[in-house]
Structure 1
Amino acid sequence: MMNCGLVTENNYPVPLKSISVEVRVQDHVSTVSSTLLYVNEEERPLEALFVFPLPADAAVCHFSAKIGEQEIVAEVQNRETARDRYDDAVSSGRQAFLLEESAESPDVFRMSVGCLSPGQNAAVTIIYVTELVVQADHSLRFCLPAVLNPRYTPAGSGAGIVSEISSVCGAVPYTLTLSVHVSSPKPISKLESNCTLDPLVFLHSDHTQATVNLSPGHMFDKDVELFLYYQDPHQPSAIVEAGVATAPSGSLMRDPVVMISLYPEFPEEVMSSLATQGEFIFLMDRSGSMGEVMHHGKGAQMRIESAKDTLLLLLKSLPMGCYFNIYGFGSHFESFFPESVVYNQDTMDKALKRVKEMRADLGGTEILQPLKHIYSQPCKPDHPRQLFIFTDGEVRNTKEVLDLVKHHVHSHRCFSFGIGEGASTALITGMAREGSGHAQFITGTDRMQPKVMQSLRFALQPPVFNISVDWTLPDGVTVDTLSQPINVLFQGQRALIYAQLKGESSGGFEGKVTVKYRLKDKPVTNQLHFCLKPTGETGLSVHRLAARTRIRSLEQEERSCGADVESIRSKIVELSVQAGVSSVHTAFIAINKDSRQTVKGPLLQRRVPTHGRRMLGQCLPLASAWQAPIIFSSVLNGQQPAQSLNFERRATKSKSLLGRLFQAPFKKHAVEAYSHQIQQQRMGFCYSTLSMERRKPQPIGNCRDSRESHQAKSLGEQRDPLLQLVSLQKASGCWDLDVTLADAFGKTEDELTNQKPAQVEGSVWATLLALIWLYGCKIDQRVEWQFVAMKAASWIRSQKVGDLSECVCVGNVLHGCQVTKDTLGI
């Protein structure tokens, strides 16, 4: 089955007309039902191919198609069997539907809608369940992926579903409607979104149920994000879900399943002092895509410029005496230092100089090699390694990357950041999960700095050791834990445990789960009592999430196992089929056995485009930017599938640029030009358009027409007063009393020096003024400068200058603030 997707919306109608999504949120679990309407407006039967994103941790549990009044419900089968049945059905003229997960990345799916008759409609429904991720501000994040960017493919990789990703520059030719219903045992405080919503409607006076709709006109230019805020979100909870009586005895679907949500609370005396040691490694994406803007609103920075500002804050926030290094990666990687160095004034200055020079000029997105290099470096004794990874998350070998991170989980913690729309949730959340860290997504108008500093606070929390989970259950009941062992606990972050309950109670109906661990050599115990009786109407969402969790564990075990691969694969297929949940070795297949039509010649194939970023600068006339690489790569590799040849014949009749490319004598030159362009891209250059004349290559970071207006100032010329002030802080935490500091405050140097109390040394006065300004003028950005202020306060205390009450009063007058001495922590 050829999947070349060589069709433009200008030449042929796109068969997908609309997507309708219904979301039902129950506490922190969401069930998402998406209905996609296909219409064949052509004169011949066709096959529609659609590669699209889903959340990385989604458990796809239903796939069906409705043609007229007839509904066909798909079943889960072995992947190869399902593919063979689909091909047989389509080739014999029957309608068939196939849904399969990418083997390279679990957040990418392909749907094939086969043998649609001329004029025929088909409404295809996909249902999945997923957990909502807890954010640093305690909200729950739901994301409906609408943007699917092309995944970078390392050299030598084979073909797969992710290689078929197609994206367009403008609006996609289908519409989206979205409705959300929220119910929770806790009152709903508010609901926010990065998209325009209709007003939130509460269904009950206690605010435990509400509905909201996406306002019409969504352009598919960004993922749809919803942020739910509950009252008292950190209460631990347990949901017990009854099994299916008709399922095989002893199976996961037959027995009850419990989902435990824990929110560990660490003792205050432990949390009051953050770690002062560690090895901090920052791995920054410098591929060409980092030259894109963060968003398309007013004043948007380029991603690489926002990343540079973030590195400034991170470097200023590190504790004295720790170790650090910074890596940049693209098609190759480079590091600031041969190995991690001690953090002091000299090394910080050298690093900041390199940060100023950073550009999005390293080509593709090869993240695997720099990770291997970092892990090959010996860890520093008594300095736990903390790895911060920044990327727009578009790699193809996702599972290989995750396996590598997991293999080294005992030597580090990994904090990952997905930058921009369409970042791979599988990669970003997976690296944090396998690396016992925390994941953040920076989308829309989000600022990168506060989210990164929130993760730095997690990294500076003392590590948790010897985590154990114990169950206390009535006689006759045993437990089989389905989740992987808990490797990490952070203050206020949720930990989920899925377990299968076996047997029948001979007495009580209360269970207890106890989590024990050591924190800074102190034993800590958290307990949760729960009722074994099933909880209300939950459908089978808990069972499916539990099955998904177990399947993911088995898939990873299969990749790391040498001998028993077939046995593990058999377990995956068996559990996937029993639970009706997708896996890498199964697929959903639906065949309309009542349909049959005469098909002469191959079916027309129509690729449904998804919205994504432009790959080669500007759009091609009458052709999306994704098409030319597929066409030319087929020719360059000596492969000419039927779709390529058919498209070539049609293109030679076209007056478009793409048509002229295939007309002699231009064809050979076009192929040579494209080959040259690919080589230049790998070397860090790109072209503003694909044309017949070779243009002067430009650095990838400057490939936008509007680049002049978006290019931010270098770190030495920051206009943001906060970043300007932070850039002047010494590694020890103090500031110098000079004209640059006065300029950051909007004062003259004389104004600062003339007001200085006589008994106070200049650096102490300067540092005190900086603290007063931060607390008095930038309190709303405290999460960004909190560690800068902690270092400053600690430095002042180390100077032993006596009572500073008079200095604080004078500083308040100078800045027009009313900050107390106690607030400053001095």
Structure 2
Amino acid sequence: MEICGLVTEKNEPVPLKSISVEVLVQDHVATVSSTLQYVNEEERPLEALFVLPLPADAAVCHFSAKIGEQEIVAEVQDKETARDQYDDAVSSGQQAFLLEESAESPDVFRLSVGCLSAGQNAAVTIIYVTELAVQADHSLRFCLPAVLNPRYTPAGSAAGIVSEISSGAVPYTLTLSVHVSSPKPISKLESNCTLDPLLFLHADSQCSCELSKPISKLESNCTLDPLVFLHSDHTQATVNLSPGHMFDKDVELFVYYQDTHQPSAIVEAGVTTALPGSLMRDPVVMISLYPEFPEEVMKSLATRGEFVFVIDRSGSMDSMMHQGKGAQMCIESAKDTLLLLLKSLPVGCYFNIYGFGSDFESFFPQSVEYNQDTMDEALKRVKEMRADMGGTEILEPLKHIYSQRCYPDHPRQLFIFTDGEVGNTKEVLDLVKSHAHSHRCFSFGIGEGASAALITGMAREGSGHAQFITDSDRMQPKVMQSLRFALQPAVVNISVDWILPDGVTVDTLSPPISVLFQGQRALIYAQLKGESSGGSEGTVTVKYSLKDQPLTNQLHFCLKPTEETGLSIHRLAARTLIRSLEQEERSGAAGVEGIRSRMVELSVQAGVSSVHTAFIAVNKDSRQTVKGPLLQRRVPTYNALMQANCDSYEACCLMEAYDWDIETDSNEGAVQSQQAESECKQRAAPEPPKDPLLQLVSLQKASGCWDLDATLVDGSVWATLLALIWLYGCKIEQQVEWQFVAMKAASWIGSQKVGDLSQCVCAGNVLLGCQVTKETLGI
């Protein structure tokens, strides 16, 4: 892993001064416009290089530069052609701007600003569109990435992602404005920072559009100015990040709508000047489906399965989850989560736990049956886990897991926990996809800077679900939500049928749907061809089987295009198709050259980024003699790992060497890094007090009961009943974390054939000061 010297450490000017971002959220699609203000304060022309993270599934659709009053809009070209044009322009003294996607990971872009004259300003604007991911609490998550931690590149691999890493606050600021409009109601804005009271205003002359339903809630992990509702019915809202924000953390916003789970369709008109028959000429529809499974099916969660937990134990997992009060180390939070998972598994399933870093190890040679003995042995080893395994090599443990035989009637469920910083992302995703038929993959990105491309990609290719644990988030609720998904019976035989008016045909652009979860969104992009001979409505029907029961979800939609969508649906559809073609190319499919040509053609037509194209802009009016090579300035990005545990930058650098550089010939670096790690731990915050919920859960047996114990009271039934009453009476706000623990306990009590439990429940309520009914306990 190459990490360049720090510009700020050398006291050299950083040409990037500020970033201004405007976000327009329309239902669950965000259009993001970022303007980067560059100033050359030096006496010679320079070239500024900036490696910047973007959301993994973003479709970059505009790139331009403004020098003075002159604006130059970039074109999308074949990447090699664009690079040659950039080099030629810069060498001849012309100002040039190049934006290209990393070959290693689709969530990292390289921005080159060439031949910026002494004393000159340049404003570079990047616009992209992205879907907002649905969270466990039904909010929609928008993330503006700021942190780009070093990406671990395995030995023998090609050069990885090279970025300038800042050890302190980055020397540029961020301003952010978000405008939300939706046909669904918005309710509130929440943040882990103090917010002023919300302001509700009637529409004024600045608002140009009227929508029919309110907006309900926005959340952020940063300090925001008050939320301003522009319509009294809450159909639109505007919020701004408080001034002076240093861009040293990912900015997350959570949008809450009422009636989130209503299926919907957006039909977007094409461009009349585009080539006939092309994607950009025809209308495109985006279908959002939220399958609802029958209640009787959902009550009978699976009691079988093979659960494989894969835990990142690289050195970077020794960082703090966040910098606030009560923060845990990432590895400690992962250990607490494993405790909950192990206590929540159904008796009779199979399980195993892997730890990985530069190498990997497993608790058992192969997955073992879940019982009291195997659970006890696993918990003992969980307590001993440390973040002491070096780099982040996730490919080899996955290869080993996939080589293990599957157990009949026990579908494999893979849970992967990582801070997600690898340089071979696409190779990992291809491996997961090649084994999608044999497992479901649930992935968890831990901490700032986790690679969204890796985390979301593994879940997508493994037909699972992705979660991000950042800032002050607790890991346990999100993981237990994913466990509920994993315990849902697998949906099979999924098909999509269309009914359209005569004269209209459909070309589906999205890959076939391979997974459906209760209440989770499934997206379909499709191109509508031809013209209707009279009908104005279409129907899409999704059919599937669940536990041998045939089910159908249907949506009727209007074929009339939605107004003012700005081609965002076309660009997201093009991005979806390009990603599918990229994977087809990497798989070695026949006709690779044809696939590549199709990608470049689609990228140029739609004006969106791809791995084979780049945005290039040249100011042909500028030309000056450049003597000698241009000054080169790399713009630093923030590295959360360097600030995790240590006040000393030098000590953290040693830790980084231990984590990222696995090709050191001697052990000296490792010894120094271990010493630095020890120093950091001595300066780390004191360990937070034990969570009483986890203390109680740790005493539960694999069967679901609590045994006679000096810390409880006599009698296993009585002890288990008291534990249940305490959970429902005192920890109801954390029910998502202990729901499976409680289900096992109630099931165990039911199997004991105890007489009248009502009096026991009353006595337990008196003892614990609760008011829980027998029905609430489910016994």
Number of aligned residues = 747
Shift of 1:698: 3.5
Query: What are the residue-to-residue correspondences of 1:734-773 with 2, within 5 Å?
Result: 734-740=705-711, 742=712, 752-753=713-714, 762-773=715-726
Which residue, 774, 789, 806 being the options, matches 2:727? 774
Shift of 1:5: 5.9
Structure 2 distance, partners of 1:708, 1:174, is 28
Question: For residues 626 and 177 of structure 1, do their structure 2 counterparts lie closer, same or farther at Cα, with a shift above 3 Å needed?
Answer: farther
Query: What are the residue-to-residue correspondences of 1:182-331 with 2, within 5 Å?
Result: 182-188=180-186, 189-331=216-358
Query: Residue 825 of structure 1 aligns with which residue?
Result: 778
Contact 1:375 1:408 in 2 (8 A): yes
Q: For 1:698-754, what per-residue CA distance to the aligned partner results, in whole angstroms no more than 9, with x for missing partners?
A: 485x46255553446xxxxx72111010000000000012213x3xxxxxxxxx34x
Contact 1:619 1:625 in 2 (8 A): no
Structure 2 distance, partners of 1:170, 1:83, is 32
Query: Residue 52 of structure 1 aligns with which residue?
Result: 52
Query: What are the residue-to-residue correspondences of 1:71-470 with 2, within 5 Å?
Result: 71-160=71-160, 162=161, 164-188=162-186, 189-470=216-497
Contact 2:264 2:289 in 1 (8 A): yes
Q: For 1:448-497, what per-residue CA distance to the aligned partner results, in whole angstroms no more than 9, with x for missing partners?
A: 01110010000001110100000000011000000000000000000000
Query: Residue 18 of structure 2 aligns with which residue?
Result: 18
- The reply on whether 1:512 has 2:539 as its aligned counterpart is yes
Read off the aligned partner of 1:816 and give its amino acid letter.
G
Secondary structure class of the residue paired with 1:739: coil
Q: For 1:227-278, what per-residue CA distance to the aligned partner results, in whole angstroms no more than 9, with x for missing partners?
A: 0110111000000000011111100000000000000000001001110000
Read off the aligned partner of 1:429 and give its amino acid letter.
T
Shift of 1:563: 3.4
Contact 1:737 1:765 in 2 (8 A): no
Query: Residue 690 of structure 1 aligns with which residue?
Result: none
Contact 1:60 1:582 in 2 (8 A): yes
Structure 1 distance, partners of 2:586, 2:110, is 22
Which residue, 763, 767, 773 being the options, matches 1:810? 763
Read off the aligned partner of 2:149 and give its amino acid letter.
N
Secondary structure class of the residue paired with 2:355: strand
Structure 2 distance, partners of 1:623, 1:324, is 38
Query: Residue 733 of structure 1 aligns with which residue?
Result: 704
> Which structure is larger by alpha-carbon Rg, 1 or 2?
1
Structure 1 distance, partners of 2:26, 2:685, is 45
Q: For 1:390-430, what per-residue CA distance to the aligned partner results, in whole angstroms no more than 9, with x for missing partners?
A: 00000000000000000000100000000000100000000
Question: For residues 807 and 213 of structure 1, do their structure 2 counterparts lie closer, same or farther at Cα, with a shift above 3 Å needed?
Answer: same
Question: For residues 80 and 524 of structure 1, do their structure 2 counterparts lie closer, same or farther at Cα, with a shift above 3 Å needed?
Answer: same
Shift of 1:6: 6.0
Secondary structure class of the residue paired with 2:680: coil
TM-score (norm: length of structure 1): 0.88
Structure 2 distance, partners of 1:13, 1:627, is 27
Query: Residue 204 of structure 2 aligns with which residue?
Result: none
Query: Residue 499 of structure 1 aligns with which residue?
Result: 526
CA RMSD after TM alignment: 2.1
Contact 2:315 2:655 in 1 (8 A): no
Secondary structure class of the residue paired with 2:8: coil
Secondary structure class of the residue paired with 2:457: helix
Contact 2:8 2:166 in 1 (8 A): no
Which residue, 693, 696, 701 being the options, matches 1:722? 693
Shift of 1:626: 10
Contact 2:64 2:72 in 1 (8 A): yes
Structure 2 distance, partners of 1:81, 1:711, is 55
Q: For 1:778-826, what per-residue CA distance to the aligned partner results, in whole angstroms no more than 9, with x for missing partners?
A: 1111000000000000001111112200100001011000000000000
Question: For residues 622 and 605 of structure 1, do their structure 2 counterparts lie closer, same or farther at Cα, with a shift above 3 Å needed?
Answer: farther
Contact 2:172 2:246 in 1 (8 A): no
Structure 2 distance, partners of 1:17, 1:462, is 52
Question: For residues 622 and 91 of structure 1, do their structure 2 counterparts lie closer, same or farther at Cα, with a shift above 3 Å needed?
Answer: farther
Query: What are the residue-to-residue correspondences of 1:673-692 with 2, within 5 Å?
Result: 676=666, 680-681=669-670, 687=673
Read off the aligned partner of 2:774 and give its amino acid letter.
K
Structure 2 distance, partners of 1:248, 1:627, is 55
Query: Residue 208 of structure 2 aligns with which residue?
Result: none
Contact 1:734 1:795 in 2 (8 A): yes
Contact 1:515 1:527 in 2 (8 A): yes
Query: Residue 658 of structure 1 aligns with which residue?
Result: none
Secondary structure class of the residue paired with 1:60: strand
Contact 1:6 1:627 in 2 (8 A): no
Query: What are the residue-to-residue correspondences of 1:563-602 with 2, within 5 Å?
Result: 563-602=590-629
Question: For residues 42 and 9 of structure 1, do their structure 2 counterparts lie closer, same or farther at Cα, with a shift above 3 Å needed?
Answer: farther
Task: Note the residue ranges of structure 1 that are not aligned, 5 or more in a row.
Answer: 638-673, 688-696, 713-717, 743-751, 754-761
Query: What are the residue-to-residue correspondences of 1:61-80 with 2, within 5 Å?
Result: 61-80=61-80
Contact 2:30 2:130 in 1 (8 A): yes
Shift of 1:565: 1.2
Structure 2 distance, partners of 1:573, 1:70, is 29
Shift of 1:613: 2.8
Read off the aligned partner of 1:807 and give its amino acid letter.
C
Structure 1 distance, partners of 2:656, 2:437, is 45
Query: Residue 654 of structure 1 aligns with which residue?
Result: none
Shift of 1:170: 1.1
Question: For residues 705 and 796 of structure 1, do their structure 2 counterparts lie closer, same or farther at Cα, with a shift above 3 Å needed?
Answer: closer
Query: Bigger shift: 105-114 or 702-711?
Result: 702-711
TM-score (norm: length of structure 2): 0.93
Structure 2 distance, partners of 1:811, 1:125, is 64
Contact 2:494 2:543 in 1 (8 A): yes
Question: For residues 767 and 627 of structure 1, do their structure 2 counterparts lie closer, same or farther at Cα, with a shift above 3 Å needed?
Answer: closer
Query: Residue 36 of structure 1 aligns with which residue?
Result: 36
Read off the aligned partner of 2:695 and give its amino acid letter.
Q
Q: For 1:419-451, what per-residue CA distance to the aligned partner results, in whole angstroms no more than 9, with x for missing partners?
A: 000100000000000000000000000000111
Shift of 1:620: 7.3
Read off the aligned partner of 2:259 and give its amino acid letter.
D
Read off the aligned partner of 2:181 and give its amino acid letter.
S
Question: For residues 440 and 584 of structure 1, do their structure 2 counterparts lie closer, same or farther at Cα, with a shift above 3 Å needed?
Answer: same
Query: Bigger shift: 563-572 or 113-122?
Result: 563-572
Contact 1:187 1:207 in 2 (8 A): yes
Read off the aligned partner of 1:508 and give its amino acid letter.
G
- The reply on whether 1:704 has 2:702 as its aligned counterpart is no
Structure 1 distance, partners of 2:310, 2:408, is 21
- The reply on whether 1:534 has 2:532 as its aligned counterpart is no
Contact 2:309 2:414 in 1 (8 A): yes
Secondary structure class of the residue paired with 1:709: coil
Secondary structure class of the residue paired with 1:177: strand
Shift of 1:216: 1.7
Question: For residues 52 and 374 of structure 1, do their structure 2 counterparts lie closer, same or farther at Cα, with a shift above 3 Å needed?
Answer: same
Task: Note the residue ranges of structure 2 that are not aligned, 5 or more in a row.
Answer: 187-215
Contact 1:302 1:710 in 2 (8 A): no
Secondary structure class of the residue paired with 1:704: helix
